[in-house]
């Protein structure tokens, strides 16, 4: 499998790539392709979050769960979609909260969050692949062991990272984070099913920047093109 990620991550995660569970992921994905299954995101974008946000530049982690399973959507950044794809409902709610929180209007037809990733926001899904039109279809193939290791590595080897955990699934990852060294922000998931139960009004975007500036770290410019 083409592990396309920025070099600093390859160093940090090199032990994971040789573990049996990771080899099982590779074998599973190769088998899916041989069976003509359509998998998202495309192979070159599976590790896009790591490619766009080098380990040494990482300031913030946003945790998602599953890649989008519709054609042309997923490109390896949680909640983000490729150029030309309208923002899905959860992302629209994220835009609404940003506008309410910091007064920045968001584009109605633009859902690519690469700009955030390039400023140090690791946009990490727990599962890095999915079969077309089958949500959570790759949730049991070993990805969670890999991404749990990623979270633990960040917690162990960095300091002052802001972890943004939306929804129950993401909040279960809190046990992997050393809160004596890092910051954890929690709220309901931005999905239309739960956004009005604690996501709206969470002010995580301004709070994140306050926590970064308190450490003398440049804040995130959440405004999109």
Any idea what the CATH number is for the domain that residue 99 is in? 3.40.470.10
Confidence bin at 2 (pLDDT 50/70/90): low
Domain count, the chain: 1
Q: Is 222 inside a domain boundary?
A: no
Q: Rounded distance, CA 106 to CA 29, Å? A: 36
DSSP string, the chain: ------HHHHHHHHHHHTSHHHHHHHHHHHHHHHTT--EES-GGGTTHHHHHS-GGG--EEEEE-S---STTT--SSTT---TTSPPPHHHHHHHHHHHHHH-----TT----HHHHTTTEEEEESS--EETTBTTTTTTSSHHHHHHHHHHHHHHH-SSPEEEEEHHHHHGGGGGS-TTTSEEEEE--SSTTTGGGTTTT--HHHHHHHHHHHTTPPPP-----
Whether 37 shows a pLDDT value over 80: the answer reads yes
Residue 221 is assigned to a structural domain of this protein: no
Determine the straight-line distance between the first and last CA of the chain, rounded to whole angstroms: 33
Q: Is residue 175, in this structure, part of any structural domain at all?
A: yes
Residues 186, 86 contacting (CB under 8 angstroms):
no
Average pLDDT, integer, range 27-51: 96
- Structure-token match 């990733």, residue found: 117
Residue 223 lies in a domain: no
Average pLDDT score over residue span 163-176 = 97
Residues 114-140: what's their mean pLDDT?
A: 97
Does the pLDDT of residue 202 top 80, yes or no? yes
The question of whether 66 is a catalytic residue gets the answer: yes
pLDDT value for 166: 97
Structure tokens, 155: 């917690």
192 domain-assigned: yes
Task: For 69-78, write each residue's pLDDT tens digit.
Answer: 999 999 999 9
Question: Chain-wide mean pLDDT for the chain?
Answer: 96
| Catalytic site residue from 2, 51, 66, 83 | 66
Q: Is residue 168 part of a domain?
A: yes
Beta strand pairing status for 60-64 and 162-166? parallel
Q: Span 35-43, mean pLDDT?
A: 96
0.75 surpassed by pTM: yes
Question: Which structural domain range is residue 145 located in?
Answer: 7-214
Does a structural domain hold residue 148? Answer: yes
pLDDT at 57 over 90: yes
Average pLDDT over residues 80-98: 96
pLDDT at 141 over 80: yes
Query: Residue 89: inside a domain, yes or no?
Result: yes
Asked if residues 222 and 98 have their Cβ atoms less than 8 Å apart, the reply is yes
Which residue matches tokens 């979270």?
Answer: 151
């Amino acid at each position: 499998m083409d592990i396309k990620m920025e070099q600093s991550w390859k160093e940090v995660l090199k032990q994971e790539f040789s573990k049996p569970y990771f080899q099982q992921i590779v074998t599973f994905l190769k088998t899916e392709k041989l069976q003509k299954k359509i998998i998202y995101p495309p192979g070159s974008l599976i590790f896009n979050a790591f490619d766009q946000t080098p380990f040494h530049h990482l300031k913030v982690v946003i945790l998602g769960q599953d890649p989008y399973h519709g054609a042309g959507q997923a490109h390896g950044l949680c909640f983000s979609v490729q150029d030309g794809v309208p923002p899905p409902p959860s992302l629209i709610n994220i835009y609404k909260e940003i506008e309410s929180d910091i007064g920045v209007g968001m584009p109605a037809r633009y859902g690519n969050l690469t700009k955030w990733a390039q400023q140090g926001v690791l946009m990490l899904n727990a599962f890095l692949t999915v079969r077309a039109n089958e949500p959570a279809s790759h949730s049991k193939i070993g990805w969670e062991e890999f991404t749990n290791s990623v979270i633990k590595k960040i917690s162990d080897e960095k300091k002052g990272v802001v972890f943004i955990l939306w929804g129950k699934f993401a909040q279960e990852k809190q046990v992997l984070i050393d809160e004596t060294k890092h910051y954890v922000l929690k709220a309901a998931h931005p999905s239309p099913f739960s956004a009005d139960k604690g996501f709206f009004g969470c002010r995580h975007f301004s709070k994140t920047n306050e926590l970064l500036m308190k450490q003398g770290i440049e804040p995130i410019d959440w405004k999109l093109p």
